[in-house]
Amino acid sequence: MRSVAHPKPCRLSAIAVIIGFALLIPLQTAVVAAGKEGSAETTTKRPNVLLIVTDDMNNALGCYGHPLVKSPNIDRLAARGVRFDRAYCQAPVCNPTRASFFSGLLPETVDVLDNKMAWPKQPPGGQYMPHFFQERGYYTGTIGKILDHKRVPNQPYWNLEIREWGKFPDEEQMAERGRLSERGSSFWAKIKVPEVETGDGFVARRAVAALEREAKQQQPFFLAVGFRRPHSPYAAPSRYFDLYPPESIRLPHSPPEHLASILPAAKNGLAPHEEGALATLRGYYACISFVDAQVGLLLDALDQLKLWENTIVVFVSDHGYHTGHHGMWHKGTLFEQSARVPMIIAAPKKESGVACGRVAEILDLYPTLADLCGLEVPKSLEGISLAPLLANPQQPWQRAAFTVEARIDAEGKRTLVGHSVRTERYRYSEWDSGNQGHELYDHDNDPDEFVNLAQQPAYAETIARLQGLLQARRVNAR
């Protein structure tokens, strides 16, 4: 057992959110924790894991080809690893998608489908990812927003736990602010406190301290670091807004005929007037660059501590985000912008600086990390290891991605469920098992998903095949 010294906390602003205390759980010796997977000696030779998760970040990043957004540090990580260009979440809202990829199960299997549902104490037939690593000799730590803490039971599988909750800044900390619309809680704000006093700034620095501490140990670590931004409110220090002159901001264009034809069930979070949306999009981009700077602190620490040769680094968002796409704002749809996520994996002795166009799910992270660490992948997991794609990103890969969206009303009652399947070429979605409509988009010819082909007879065979994929995945889900 070893004691853990924590750096002195900085003074936190309200936008820094309320950081919970560090919950230290007695650490079993490596010999005991290694269990059936191997001895303490073999455990110490396994690679470390640094899992970086952001909240509500879409693919507006330099390494994904965005012409405006500045993300030099995430781009730097992409240059070290494999950038997945077709990576998708299992649910386009926070609670179910995190329950899914931390359990390694589909949302319907783990039975968490919306933001109101509590997580089971243990996922059906298995363990949550940090529990899996802890039992196999890893020191496990979580800093920031990783799990949805309001709906997750006590977590004895973390050796270090620094929770955070809340997200709104205090009035006196905002130099300037504005709203997306007259109604609703979404707003942007320029923050005038030092970066270290923001929530994500605090999280990054605590994570660096944890890396510095663990680099001196023989035991491998699994460290999960969660950043709140660019989740609303879109609040960041003023200098990140300065990266985006107002005249440079443009909203995505959607043809009027497309906006008029969107299925009612497919709509969620309609965008407000253009002026408010443009200013808010600037705040969203500022938050991406702010998070990017915090990621940079972690990457700098890996450089200085010489950890790259034995550390797997993952960067991922929990789901995508609409910023005017299809005339909508926020998440919670089955369109590409809501379901697609940035995902980068940099692993020792694997490919670096390359893009992978094969379909992947963030559900696959659990088996991938187990595989890369030389651990037996649990048979209960519903994703698969992406390790073969890290060795050869262009190899044949017959996989599809599945996303479920459950709508709830103000009382928490579920009103609608939609399912979507994404292959390399097509996205097919159906609402209420098709009773409230179907959608089919051909990404080879319509990457923006403007033309719904579901009613065209020429695509009946394609739809039947994609329906079969959906049905098979739902039947196999326990």
Sheet strands (E) in 192-243: 221-227, 234-237
User: Which pLDDT score is estimated for 163?
Assistant: 81
CA distances from 316 to 50, 179, 227, 289, 340 (A): 11, 28, 11, 15, 11
Residue 404 domain flag: no
> CATH no. for residue 80?
3.40.720.10
pTM of the model: 0.92
b/e map of 115-137 (b: 16 or more CB within 10 Å)? bebebeeebeebbbbbbbbbbbb
Both tokens assigned to 441: 């988009």
Span of 32-36, 72-76, 354-358, 466-470 with lowest mean pLDDT: 32-36
Residue 443 domain flag: no
pLDDT at 359 over 80: yes
pLDDT at 40 over 50: no
User: Which pLDDT score is estimated for 352?
Assistant: 96
Q: How many domains does the chain fold into?
A: 1
Residue 425 domain flag: no
CA distances from 447 to 162, 221, 226, 327, 336 (A): 40, 40, 30, 16, 9
pLDDT at 336 over 50: yes
Mean pLDDT of 336-356: 97
Q: Which of the pair, 40 or 351, is modelled with greater confidence?
A: 351
Whole-number average pLDDT of the chain:
89
- Residue 247's domain spans which residues? 18-392
Judge whether 385 and 376 are in contact, CB under 8 Å: no
Phi, psi at 115, each rounded to 5°: -80, 0
User: Which pLDDT score is estimated for 169?
Assistant: 75
Residue 461 domain flag: no
Residue 180 domain flag: yes
Residue 397 domain flag: no
Mean pLDDT of 40-59: 84
**Tens-place pLDDT, residues 322-331:** 999 999 999 9
Q: Which of the pair, 117 or 19, is modelled with greater confidence?
A: 117
Residue 464 domain flag: no
User: Which pLDDT score is estimated for 30?
Assistant: 33
pLDDT at 119 over 90: yes
pLDDT at 369 over 80: yes
Residue 352 domain flag: yes
DSSP H helical segments within 305-407, as ranges? Answer: 336-339, 365-372, 387-391
Residues assigned a catalytic role: 94, 149
